[in-house]
Amino acid sequence: MLKIDDIKKICVIGAGNMGHQISVCAALAGFNVTCNDISQNMLDNAKDFAQTYLKERVAKGKLTEEQANLALARLTFTQDLEQATGGADFVIEAAVENLDIKRKLFSDLDRIAPPHAILTTNSSYIVSSRIADATKRPEKVCNMHFFNPALVMKLVEVVQNPHTSEETIQLAMDLCQKLGKIGVRLKKEIYGFVVNRVLTAIKNEALFLADAGIATPEEIDTAIVNALGHPMGPFKLMDLTGIDLAYQICMERYKESLDPKDKPSPLLVEKYVKQEFGKKTNKGWYSYA
């Protein structure tokens, strides 16, 4: 039976919003990490981020120079999926939120990764039972849902699908602990899990209020931050996590439910069409230039 101490190499698929920070987090926790992406540009950005972030942590006195250098030495960035996944004990997939792409990826991961390797997805909305049957090891597949920014946010939702074994869930929970995270186990799959269901209710209500001209996004954020003690309001949070992602998630939901209340709000559509996706494009609900 695989134990947490047997896990030496972690492979992170996707160097985007979540993957680059999950990689650094795992390297800081002592794992050898290979971060894989189809885009060399994304990998270069992820590597630059790791170097800058670790240097800043040393300057801030949060890490010793030795700890930072060791973490950097444990990180490899590669476009080569075979190199990234070969010899991996644990895989965290954080690629784009597209079911077909994930199913193809998991079928490749199943072929390349050692038979003992656990295959997890960081997907926020695609439950792992929709992916697990693309592999011959459905009992070793589950969701491990991190939050943005992954180096800071403590929570990871560990979501069991009907085929996930107890051993896999235990390993995922143990890994959370080793990464310095707090794992919360969800015994059944549900669309949006716990946090995004609550967050979506807040976000949709905030968009409704802005669409109706009741208050501006800035005013709504000010209200939420100062009344509820949230670290940032729903609009600033959308800028952080990506307005494109918010739109795509809404559209996916709407396509499935055909319920008008799931339709992206007019303001969200406008931002999406203008490609004002938030921090990553320097403009979203706020300007960052």
> Which of 34-42, 81-89, 98-106, 229-237 is the region at the interface with ligand CAA (rule: CB under 6 A)?
229-237
Per CB under 6 A, does 274 bind ligand CAA?
A: no
* CB crowding 187-216: b at 16 or more within 10 Å, else e: eebeebbeebeebbeebbebbebbeeeeee
Per CB under 6 A, does 285 bind ligand CAA?
A: no
Query: How many Å apart are CA 237 and CA 233, to the nearest integer?
Result: 6
End-to-end CA distance of the chain: 51
Active site residue 163: no
Question: How many angstroms separate the Cα of 273 from the Cα of each of 6, 30, 187, 264?
Answer: 47, 42, 38, 12
Options 36, 122, 123, 196, the catalytic residue: 196
Active site residue 148: no
Going 181 to 182 to 187 to 193, the CA torsion angle's sign is negative
Give the number of residues in contact with ligand CAA, rule: CB under 6 A. 15
Query: Do the beta carbons of residue 176 and residue 183 sit within 8 Å?
Result: yes
**Mask 145-164, x = binds ligand CAA (CB under 6 A)?**
--xxx-xxx-----------
Strands 182-186 and 155-159: parallel
| 289: Cα separation from own chain's centroid | 25
Per CB under 6 A, does 241 bind ligand CAA?
A: yes
Per CB under 6 A, does 59 bind ligand CAA?
A: no
**Percentages of the chain per state (helix, strand, coil), in multiples of 5:** 50, 15, 35
Tokens 């849902």 label which residue?
A: 145
Options 124, 128, 129, 265, the catalytic residue: 124
Whole-number CA gyration radius for the chain:
19
Least Å distance, CB 97 to ligand CAA, is 9
Q: Which of 34, 76, 124, 129 binds ligand CAA (CB under 6 A)?
A: 124
**Mask 63-102, x = binds ligand CAA (CB under 6 A)?**
----------------------------------------
Tokens 């991190």 label which residue?
A: 146
Least Å distance, CB 123 to ligand CAA, is 8
Query: How many Å apart are CA 138 and CA 164, to the nearest integer?
Result: 6
Point out the residue whose Cβ comes nearest to ligand CAA.
124
> Which of 40-48, 143-151, 253-261, 280-288 is the region at the interface with ligand CAA (rule: CB under 6 A)?
143-151
- Residues 101-120 touching ligand CAA, rule: CB under 6 A, are none
Per CB under 6 A, does 232 bind ligand CAA?
A: yes
Active site residue 124: yes
Least Å distance, CB 89 to ligand CAA, is 25
Options 123, 143, 157, 161, the catalytic residue: 157
Active site residue 270: no
The nearer residue to ligand CAA, 117 or 268, going by C-beta atoms, is 268
Query: Do the beta carbons of residue 287 and residue 279 sit within 8 Å?
Result: no
Per CB under 6 A, does 231 bind ligand CAA?
A: yes
| 171: Cα separation from own chain's centroid | 19
By CB under 6 A, name the binding residues for ligand CAA. 60, 62, 124, 147-149, 151-153, 196, 199, 231-232, 237, 241
Q: Which residues are catalytic?
A: 124, 145, 157, 196
